[in-house]
């Protein structure tokens, strides 16, 4: 699979979050996906992933920017940032790094690091 295919899948995944389209996000994942949110929790399986992103922690949709994508083997490292509005109206920014590991044309593992600013 070429670099551009994996990067396009990640763009589709991130765009799903931007638009609040959880079906689009989930379509990018394998059934047995593992999401490691370092310092927070580990999510195993697409159903658990769906439940985690459905949690009602924020108002509206997040603003997300991808700054850089670097691919090696079956993985793509991504850096970026964004802003969210917490329940109650507080706006907060964050930076993130994620490593997406692929199985075919689906994401099978995510390793996520966030820094709230």
Q: Look up the CATH number of the domain holding residue 28.
A: 3.10.450.50
**pLDDT tens for each residue of 43-78:** 999 999 999 999 878 999 999 999 999 999 999 999
Contact between 29 and 49 under an 8 Å Cβ cutoff? The reply is yes
- How many whole angstroms separate alpha carbon 14 and alpha carbon 19? 9
- How many whole angstroms separate alpha carbon 94 and alpha carbon 84? 8
Structure tokens belonging to residue 101: 């590991």
E strand or H helix that includes residue 57? none
Q: Specify the pLDDT at position 4.
A: 86
Instruction: Tell me whether residue 100 is exposed, middle or buried, using C-beta atoms within 10 angstroms of its C-beta: 0 to 12, 13 to 18, 19 or more.
Output: buried
Q: What are residue 54's phi and psi, to 5 degrees?
A: -85, -10
Which residues are within 8 A (CB) of 44 and not within 5 positions of it... i.e. 6 or more apart? 32, 33, 34, 35
Task: Please give the residue range of the domain that contains residue 20.
Answer: 3-116
Q: 80 versus 87: which is more confidently predicted?
A: 80
Domain count, the chain: 1
Compute the mean pLDDT over every residue in the chain, rounded to the nearest whole number: 95
Q: Please give the model's pTM, rounded to 2 decimal places.
A: 0.93
């Amino acid at each position: 699979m070429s670099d551009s295919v994996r990067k396009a899948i990640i763009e589709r995944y991130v765009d799903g979050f931007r638009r609040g389209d959880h079906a689009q996000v989930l379509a990018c994942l394998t059934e047995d996906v593992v999401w490691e949110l370092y310092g927070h929790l580990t999510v195993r399986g697409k159903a658990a992933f769906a439940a985690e992103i459905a949690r009602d922690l924020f108002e509206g949709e997040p603003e997300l920017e991808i700054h850089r994508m670097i691919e090696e083997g079956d993985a793509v490292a991504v850096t970026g940032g964004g802003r969210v509005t917490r329940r109650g109206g507080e706006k907060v920014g964050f930076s993130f790094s994620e490593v997406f590991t692929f199985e075919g044309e689906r994401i099978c593992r995510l390793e996520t690091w966030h820094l709230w600013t």
